[in-house]
């Protein structure tokens, strides 16, 4: 005797093992097929061999049902061998299907679930008891994708062979991706069953999304680097004004954004405004203060013009926030540099102007000095001429008529007058300006050959005073080491 016992229990038996008519022994779960088979075979004793076909696709049940229906007389041995062959075939099919690593699901034409294997139970977290006979929407369908998933399911039921990727949710709420390969079984042109084979592609999807995110981030970073490169080029353009620089910076910002067509920018700096043509203040925005010499001189604003960002995410990336802050710093540095260069340029121009003026003054001064030198020479010549022509003849007459003692003083006076305009006095006063007038007078007397005693007598001071002054004169003139008296 053989028994197939499951969600749709069917009993096959070899009645030759029984001597008397058996009674019905109810299975664990009844349905229409179970009741029908039990009523037909009238079994009461415990089966000798039992096989669980609870995970079998309904097509196998249909085949068993037909096989049972063909057994008009259960006491005939004729059908026993055929039933054993069918049973062995179904036993092998069940083992292969249930051991499949991929989830498998069988669906009736009315969308009710007829069969799921253990792999599908393990993946979704739902047991076969929870899934058999339920109709769409299935519990693993996500609410956010419910409409698209239903449309895809209807296409698969209609077209037959169909492959698609779907995002589902497990019983515990965890999301997972599957690649679904579908096929349909028709009988006389009418849909009988829909079979689907799932392949868990969650890891592949995650890797793909990670790669996509990486590529996207690299693309955004490249845009930011290009922006910085353009800014560096702008800073090196000669004769570019600060206002032109700020407007160029504003125009560079929108293309760097995650949504360039929905991005606008404005720079407000020291009362001046520089903005894109589409600028408009919105709720979604980035701002950064521009600092010059430690004080806030302006602000950079970047606004998102869309009403709602994609997937309700922040329309600005972290890199864009960093970029706006960096641009504000670059503007502050550039402004400081430009102001310093302008100040240096103005100072240089002023120095050049002053240098030209000084050069002109020097030329005029040289002319004045030349004139003074010329006049000095004329004055010296005039004095010398007057001394020689007027004073000297008088002194010579006085000397001739004076006694010997007076002649000495008159000669001293004569020598002094001759040297009033001489180079010695001029050089002495210019080179040794530190000498006192009395010391200059003593030097002149020494030059004329007068002794210390004569100088003291002439100046009416003591000899010791003359010696002390001569000592100071030698010290001032650097003659202390010389043997000069």
Is it the case that residue 126 has pLDDT exceeding 90?
yes
Is it the case that residue 80 has pLDDT exceeding 70?
no
> What is residue 51's three-state secondary structure?
strand
| CB contact at 8 A, 317 and 220 | yes
Question: If you average pLDDT over each of 53-57, 64-68, 121-125, which comes out highest?
Answer: 121-125
Give the pLDDT band (50/70/90) at residue 15: very low
Is it the case that residue 390 has pLDDT exceeding 80?
no
Q: Which residues contact 406 (CB under 8 A, 6 or more apart)?
A: 398, 399
Cα 29 to chain centroid, rounded: 66
To the nearest whole number, what is the mean pLDDT of the chain? 76
Q: Report pLDDT for 188.
A: 73
Q: Report the b/e string of 19-52 with b at 16+ CB within 10 A.
A: eeebeeeebeeeeebbeebbeebebeeebeeebe
Q: Find the mean pLDDT for residues 27-34.
A: 40
**Distance (Å, whole) CA 30 – CA 477:** 141
Tokens 């000495």 belong to which residue? 408
pLDDT-above-90 percentage for the chain: 20
Q: Report pLDDT for 413.
A: 78
| CB contact at 8 A, 339 and 295 | no
Q: Report pLDDT for 11.
A: 37
Is it the case that residue 153 has pLDDT exceeding 70?
yes
DSSP 125-165: ---HHHHTT--SSPTTB-STTHHHHHHHHHHHHHHSSEEEE
**Distance (Å, whole) CA 178 – CA 145:** 14
**Distance (Å, whole) CA 8 – CA 68:** 14
Q: How far apart are the first and last CA of the chain?
A: 159
Closest CA to 266 of 302, 214, 309: 302
Residue 311 burial by CB count (10 A; 0-12/13-18/19+): exposed, middle or buried? exposed
Is it the case that residue 248 has pLDDT exceeding 50?
yes
pTM of the model: 0.45
Q: Report pLDDT for 319.
A: 84
Q: Report pLDDT for 131.
A: 92
| CB contact at 8 A, 128 and 139 | no
| CB contact at 8 A, 97 and 195 | no
| CB contact at 8 A, 300 and 328 | yes
Q: Which residues contact 223 (CB under 8 A, 6 or more apart)?
A: 255, 256
Q: For residue 367, give both structure tokens.
A: 């002319």
133: left (phi over 0), alpha (psi -120 to 50) or beta: left
Q: Which residues pair with 265 in a beta bridge?
A: 302
């Amino acid at each position: 005797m053989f028994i197939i016992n499951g969600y749709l229990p069917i009993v096959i038996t070899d009645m030759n093992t029984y001597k008397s008519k058996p009674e019905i022994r109810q299975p664990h779960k009844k349905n229409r097929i179970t009741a029908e088979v039990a009523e037909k075979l009238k079994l009461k004793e415990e089966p000798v061999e039992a096989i669980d076909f609870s995970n079998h696709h309904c097509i196998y049940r249909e085949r068993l049902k037909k096989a049972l229906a063909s057994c008009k007389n259960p006491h005939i041995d004729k059908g026993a061998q055929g039933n054993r062959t069918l049973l062995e075939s179904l036993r092998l099919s069940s083992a292969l299907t249930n051991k499949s690593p991929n989830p498998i699901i069988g669906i009736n034409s009315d969308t009710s679930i007829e069969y799921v294997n253990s792999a599908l139970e393990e993946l979704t977290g739902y047991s076969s008891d929870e899934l058999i006979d339920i109709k769409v929407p299935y519990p693993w369908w996500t609410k956010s994708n419910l409409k698209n998933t239903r449309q895809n399911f209807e296409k698969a039921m209609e077209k037959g062979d169909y492959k698609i990727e779907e995002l589902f949710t497990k019983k515990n709420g965890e999301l997972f991706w599957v690649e679904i390969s579908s096929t349909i079984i028709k009988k006389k042109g009418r849909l009988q069953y829909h079979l689907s084979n799932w392949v868990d592609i969650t890891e592949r999807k995650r890797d793909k999304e990670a790669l996509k995110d990486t590529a996207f981030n690299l693309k955004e970073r490249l845009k930011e680097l290009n922006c910085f490169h353009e800014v560096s080029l702008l800073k090196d353009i000669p004769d570019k004004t600060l206002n032109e620089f700020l407007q160029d910076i504003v125009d560079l910002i929108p293309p760097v954004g995650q949504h360039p067509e929905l991005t606008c920018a404005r720079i407000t700096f020291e009362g001046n405004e520089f903005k894109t043509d589409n600028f408009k203040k919105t709720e979604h925005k980035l701002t950064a203060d521009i600092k010059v010499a430690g004080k806030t001189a302006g602000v950079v604003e970047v606004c998102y013009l869309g009403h709602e960002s994609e997937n309700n995410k922040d329309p600005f990336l972290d890199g864009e926030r960093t970029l706006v802050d960096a641009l504000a710093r670059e503007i502050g540095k550039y402004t400081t540099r430009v102001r310093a260069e302008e100040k240096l340029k103005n100072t240089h121009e002023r120095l050049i102007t002053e240098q030209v003026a000084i050069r002109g003054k020097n030329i005029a001064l040289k002319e004045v000095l030349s004139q003074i030198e010329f006049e000095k020479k004329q004055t010296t010549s005039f004095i010398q001429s007057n001394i020689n022509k007027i004073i000297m003849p008088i002194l010579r007459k006085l000397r001739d008529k004076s006694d010997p003692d007076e002649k000495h003083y008159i000669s001293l006076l004569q020598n002094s007058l001759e040297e009033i305009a001489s180079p010695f006095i001029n050089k002495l006063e210019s080179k040794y300006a530190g000498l006192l007038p009395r010391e200059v007078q003593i030097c002149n007397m020494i030059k004329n050959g007068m002794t210390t005693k004569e100088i003291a007598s002439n100046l009416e001071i003591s000899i010791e005073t003359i010696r002390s002054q001569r000592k100071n004169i030698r010290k001032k003139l650097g003659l202390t080491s010389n043997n000069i008296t």
